[in-house]
Amino acid sequence: MAPLGSLIANDGAFRPHARRPLEDEIAALQYTGGTTGEPKGAMLTHANFCAVVNAYLHWIGSEGEPQRILGVLPLYHIFGLSFIALLSIAHGSQVVLHIRFDPDRVLADIARKKITSFPGVPTMYTALVNHPKVKDFDLSSLELCSSGGAPLPMEVLQKFQNLTGLTPREGYGLTETAPLGTLQIIDGPGRPGTVGLPAPHTIIEVVDLETGLSVLPIGQKGEICFRGPQVMKGYWNRPEATEEAFRGGRFHTGDIGFMDQDGFVTLVDRKKDMILSGGYNVFPRNNRGSHLRASGGRRSDRHRHPRCVSRAIGQGFHRAKSRPGSVRDRRAQGISRRQAREIRDAGRDGDSRQPAENAGGKAVQERARRRGTRQTAEDGGARCCLSRIERRRAAIFGQTPHHDTGRGPQNGLFTHLARIAC
């Protein structure tokens, strides 16, 4: 840091800072969501943001009327920064800002303030379509709805279509691309299940998973790579990570997908989340979709009890068909009656253990994995979920929290005092 004396030792005359080309001038250090590892600072330049805004306005038609956008996404997130804050300034659109996502307020404002554009993430659309009073609100003012941050489940998309007659336009991008990569066509029906076509001036290539250097033919699954004016300059103070991400002259996204003969891109899952099971590639997105179908479109608790791969793959079907806590349900989860009781108590105390998500609604796999590794030898590998009484008991008597193993003072005055304290 520069000492204060050196900063004020001047004549006070304003001297403009020397400007470099827009491709070199960093506009923001936008940190990645850390969904599969440690967040990294993406160096996004002024040229990156200009390319994103101009490409999107060209795609939707900049000659159209300014929109009335419902701004529920946080503006510090790359999705909200580019497609709400910057785009509304460039297009002269009005933004109705919400502090946080509240399904009741969102539905009320769409109906009352005649919102025409709603950018959101899949968890928001899931909450809206499953709202008990959604049919009581007038959503006819909506003209353009977009979804990003994560794949939108087909069940949610179809429900939203039935409610509004609109198809949420799924796009695809990353923090490193600010976050433009693909867009759904505007002047025709979208292609459900895909994330659209490459954005203007964007080259998308699918490369092999082993080396990341060989471009695969149409229809074959591999890692998706980008080239274009919206791709970041690199990672802040991470030269090794930058070199790894740009090997072969392309930006490697870490996402697995394929491109069909018409140019539409379909995402499968993250490369780091791919599971090798019985000689097959198993992708968590398939498991998440199964949970949604089995739970009637409700958000699942797929990260609540991390288990071995073979149990985790089919866990949702057993849980949907069995009574929670029943013998069948416990066998499907691989837990004992005692552990099921502790999980139930933790849930009553508000510890719902929902899937870890970041501000953009993305499932944070790395955080969920760390959550699942907090295990005790006493559980034989099960999660340590303590009830409120046990936590308060430990705080009062200075004991180490433990599960009910049939040993120790579980009844009598000890338990009575703990209950009074709670």
Could you tell me if residue 34 is left (phi over 0), alpha (psi between -120 and 50 degrees) or otherwise beta? left
The DSSP H or E segment spanning 372 is: helix 365-372
Which pLDDT tens digit goes with each residue over 52-107?
999 998 888 766 788 999 999 999 999 999 999 999 999 999 999 999 999 999 99
Query: 363: Cβ–Cβ under 8 A, 6 or more apart, which residues?
Result: 35, 150, 288, 355, 356, 357
pLDDT value of position 296: 54
Distance CA 34, CA 28 (A): 17
pLDDT value of position 314: 43
Which pLDDT tens digit goes with each residue over 379-412?
444 334 455 555 655 555 555 554 444 444 444 4
| CA torsion angle 281 282 284 287 (round to 10) | 160
Write 336-340 long-range contacts (CB < 8 A, 24+): 336/382, 338/403, 338/404, 338/405, 339/379, 339/382, 339/385, 339/403
Residue pointed to by tokens 């510890």: 351
Distance CA 413, CA 177 (A): 61
H helices, E strands: number in the chain: 16, 15
pLDDT value of position 405: 42
Please name every residue paired with 29 in a beta bridge, in sequence order, or none if there are none: 43
Q: What is the mean pLDDT of the chain?
A: 76
CB atoms within 10 A of CB 216: 16
pLDDT value of position 356: 55
First to last CA, the chain: 50
The parts of the chain modelled with pLDDT lower than 70 are 1, 35-36, 62-63, 273-422
What is the pTM assigned to this prediction?
0.66
The three-class DSSP label of residue 268 is strand
Give CA angle at 8 (4, 9), nearest 5°. 110
Which pLDDT tens digit goes with each residue over 29-43?
999 977 667 889 999
pLDDT value of position 417: 38
Which among 421, 327, 338 has a CA at the least distance from the CA of 386? 338
DSSP 338: H
Which among 201, 258, 195 has a CA at the least distance from the CA of 227? 201
The three-class DSSP label of residue 345 is helix
